[in-house]
Amino acid sequence: MIRSILSDEDVSIASPVVPSEPQSVEQIRTEIEAVTGFHPGRLNIVQDVVGGLQAPINADGAELLDAAVSIEQALRQVTSTSTSVSDVAFVRRAARELLATDGAIWEDAFPDVERVSLVGVSSVPAAYIDLLHAVLASVAVPVHVHFRRGTGSYLTQRASELFDVASPGMVVFES
């Protein structure tokens, strides 16, 4: 789909910094998706960081960020409303549904679940943090996160910051 989007004259992500091959464009999109989940608050933070960098790195970073957002938006326009652009988009949708139903959708699907565990992680994509956030906010089920030894102490220190986002699962696009 990215190949057809890149050839579409209505979508412009061309710049000297943005690669023209679909695989590289997808890699940029997935990296931004992992870090921000395309959540407006997280995207604003990344934009602020990029804006504070020295020239020309700031302009290059802004172009890459804009390209990732543009590709995600174009992918959303060519996929149906019943499918997701990626598995991560599906996880974001699940977080939004959990919150919108105040956990009822979870209770219907998983009435016997006693706990949610995320085990052996060395990094956690923003969408998974949002899903855990939604579970904690809407379901009476304990959540256990077990980080890997090498990165666990760092992620443990950052955990509260990772959960400090309003409207988990929200994106800058229409859902």
pLDDT per residue as tens, the chain (175 positions): 777 777 766 566 767 788 888 899 899 999 999 889 899 999 999 999 999 999 999 999 999 999 999 888 888 887 766 667 778 888 988 999 999 999 999 999 999 999 999 887 777 888 888 999 999 999 999 998 888 888 778 777 777 777 888 888 888 776 4
Joined tokens for residue 19: 């690669």
pLDDT at 12: 66
Residue 81: per-residue pLDDT: 61
Q: What's the pLDDT at 106?
A: 95
Q: What pLDDT is attached to residue 114? A: 93
pLDDT at 75: 84
Q: Strands 116-121, 143-147: parallel, antiparallel or unpaired by DSSP?
A: parallel
Q: Are 40 and 165 in contact (CB under 8 A)?
A: no
**Cβ count near 26 (within 10 Å):** 17
Tell me, what's the pLDDT at 139? Answer: 94
For residue 9, what pLDDT is reported? 61
Give the separation between CA 163 and CA 160, rounded to whole angstroms. Answer: 5
Please give the pLDDT value at position 87.
82
| Distance from C-alpha of 73 to C-alpha of 131, rounded to nearest angstrom | 21
